Amino acid sequence: MAKHLTARDIELLVGLIDGWNGKLTWDAVCDEAKGLIGTRPTRQTLNAHARIKSAFDDKKVQQKVGFKPKKRPESLAIAEQRIRRLDSENQRMKAENNRLLERFVRWQYNAQKRGISQAVLDAPLPEIDRDSAEK
Protein backbone atom coordinates (compact mmCIF):
# COMPACT_ATOMS: atom_id res chain seq x y z
CA MET A 1 0.00 0.00 0.00
CA ALA A 2 1.25 3.49 -0.81
CA LYS A 3 2.49 5.72 1.99
CA HIS A 4 0.08 8.46 3.01
CA LEU A 5 1.57 11.94 2.95
CA THR A 6 1.88 13.74 6.26
CA ALA A 7 1.47 17.48 6.72
CA ARG A 8 5.28 17.76 6.84
CA ASP A 9 5.59 15.81 3.56
CA ILE A 10 3.06 18.11 1.90
CA GLU A 11 4.93 21.19 3.16
CA LEU A 12 8.22 19.80 1.80
CA LEU A 13 6.66 19.00 -1.57
CA VAL A 14 5.05 22.43 -1.90
CA GLY A 15 8.44 23.99 -1.13
CA LEU A 16 10.06 21.74 -3.72
CA ILE A 17 7.59 22.85 -6.38
CA ASP A 18 7.90 26.53 -5.39
CA GLY A 19 11.66 26.41 -5.89
CA TRP A 20 11.54 24.33 -9.06
CA ASN A 21 13.86 25.24 -11.95
CA GLY A 22 13.52 23.67 -15.38
CA LYS A 23 10.68 21.77 -16.96
CA LEU A 24 8.02 20.84 -14.41
CA THR A 25 6.31 17.46 -14.76
CA TRP A 26 4.60 15.18 -12.27
CA ASP A 27 7.17 12.44 -12.91
CA ALA A 28 10.05 14.82 -12.23
CA VAL A 29 8.42 15.97 -9.01
CA CYS A 30 7.82 12.35 -7.97
CA ASP A 31 11.48 11.53 -8.62
CA GLU A 32 12.71 14.50 -6.58
CA ALA A 33 10.21 13.77 -3.81
CA LYS A 34 11.82 10.40 -3.18
CA GLY A 35 14.89 12.15 -1.77
CA LEU A 36 12.78 14.38 0.46
CA ILE A 37 10.19 12.02 1.92
CA GLY A 38 11.90 8.65 1.54
CA THR A 39 9.52 7.01 -0.92
CA ARG A 40 8.52 7.86 -4.46
CA PRO A 41 4.87 8.97 -4.46
CA THR A 42 2.69 8.49 -7.50
CA ARG A 43 1.36 11.31 -9.64
CA GLN A 44 -2.14 10.46 -8.43
CA THR A 45 -1.07 10.74 -4.78
CA LEU A 46 0.39 14.19 -5.33
CA ASN A 47 -2.53 15.32 -7.47
CA ALA A 48 -4.99 14.25 -4.75
CA HIS A 49 -3.67 16.88 -2.31
CA ALA A 50 -5.10 20.33 -3.03
CA ARG A 51 -2.05 22.26 -1.78
CA ILE A 52 0.35 20.27 -3.93
CA LYS A 53 -1.88 20.46 -6.99
CA SER A 54 -2.37 24.19 -6.50
CA ALA A 55 1.38 24.78 -6.14
CA PHE A 56 1.99 22.67 -9.27
CA ASP A 57 -0.64 24.51 -11.32
CA ASP A 58 0.57 27.92 -10.13
CA LYS A 59 4.18 27.05 -11.00
CA LYS A 60 3.13 25.86 -14.47
CA VAL A 61 1.33 29.18 -15.09
CA GLN A 62 4.34 31.08 -13.77
CA GLN A 63 6.62 29.17 -16.14
CA LYS A 64 4.34 29.86 -19.12
CA VAL A 65 4.19 33.58 -18.38
CA GLY A 66 7.92 33.66 -17.80
CA PHE A 67 10.06 35.17 -15.11
CA LYS A 68 10.45 38.92 -15.35
CA PRO A 69 13.35 40.01 -13.16
CA LYS A 70 13.00 43.35 -11.43
CA LYS A 71 15.67 46.01 -11.43
CA ARG A 72 18.48 45.18 -9.08
CA PRO A 73 19.03 47.46 -6.11
CA GLU A 74 22.02 49.75 -6.38
CA SER A 75 23.46 48.81 -3.00
CA LEU A 76 23.52 45.88 -0.64
CA ALA A 77 21.85 47.95 2.08
CA ILE A 78 18.82 48.54 -0.14
CA ALA A 79 18.77 44.84 -1.07
CA GLU A 80 18.98 43.88 2.58
CA GLN A 81 16.05 46.18 3.44
CA ARG A 82 14.01 44.69 0.65
CA ILE A 83 14.82 41.14 1.76
CA ARG A 84 13.88 41.98 5.36
CA ARG A 85 10.61 43.55 4.21
CA LEU A 86 9.77 40.55 2.01
CA ASP A 87 10.65 38.12 4.83
CA SER A 88 8.41 40.04 7.20
CA GLU A 89 5.60 40.06 4.65
CA ASN A 90 6.08 36.33 4.07
CA GLN A 91 5.87 35.59 7.83
CA ARG A 92 2.77 37.76 8.15
CA MET A 93 1.08 35.97 5.25
CA LYS A 94 1.96 32.56 6.69
CA ALA A 95 0.41 33.55 10.03
CA GLU A 96 -2.67 34.92 8.27
CA ASN A 97 -2.96 31.73 6.22
CA ASN A 98 -2.76 29.62 9.41
CA ARG A 99 -5.51 31.72 11.02
CA LEU A 100 -7.69 31.26 7.93
CA LEU A 101 -7.05 27.50 7.94
CA GLU A 102 -8.05 27.32 11.62
CA ARG A 103 -11.18 29.32 10.84
CA PHE A 104 -12.04 27.00 7.97
CA VAL A 105 -11.67 23.93 10.19
CA ARG A 106 -13.95 25.57 12.77
CA TRP A 107 -16.53 26.32 10.07
CA GLN A 108 -16.22 22.79 8.71
CA TYR A 109 -16.83 21.33 12.17
CA ASN A 110 -19.81 23.58 12.85
CA ALA A 111 -21.35 22.85 9.43
CA GLN A 112 -20.96 19.10 9.94
CA LYS A 113 -22.37 19.38 13.47
CA ARG A 114 -25.52 21.03 12.09
CA GLY A 115 -25.89 18.53 9.25
CA ILE A 116 -24.93 20.84 6.40
CA SER A 117 -23.44 18.85 3.55
CA GLN A 118 -20.43 19.80 1.47
CA ALA A 119 -22.67 20.04 -1.61
CA VAL A 120 -24.72 22.76 0.08
CA LEU A 121 -21.59 24.63 1.14
CA ASP A 122 -20.08 24.41 -2.36
CA ALA A 123 -23.25 25.64 -4.09
CA PRO A 124 -22.59 28.66 -6.34
CA LEU A 125 -23.74 32.12 -5.37
CA PRO A 126 -27.04 33.25 -6.90
CA GLU A 127 -26.97 35.36 -10.05
CA ILE A 128 -27.50 39.08 -9.53
CA ASP A 129 -30.25 40.50 -11.70
CA ARG A 130 -29.17 44.11 -12.06
CA ASP A 131 -31.84 44.98 -14.66
CA SER A 132 -34.81 44.45 -12.32
CA ALA A 133 -33.92 47.36 -10.03
CA GLU A 134 -33.48 49.85 -12.87
CA LYS A 135 -37.08 49.60 -14.17
% of the chain at pLDDT higher than 70: 91
Is the pLDDT reported for residue 3 higher than 80? no
- Please state the pTM of the whole predicted model: 0.57
Regarding whether 96 and 110 lie in a shared domain, the answer is yes
> Do 62 and 76 reside in the same domain of the chain?
no
Whether residue 129 is contained in a domain is answered as no
Residue 135 inside a domain? The answer is no
Could you tell me if 14 and 60 lie in one domain?
yes
Structural domain range at position 87: 69-121
Q: 133 lies in a domain?
A: no
Helix 26-37 vs helix 7-18: crossing angle, to nearest 10: 130
Residues 85 and 58 grouped into a single domain = no
Q: Which has more confidence, 126 or 3?
A: 126
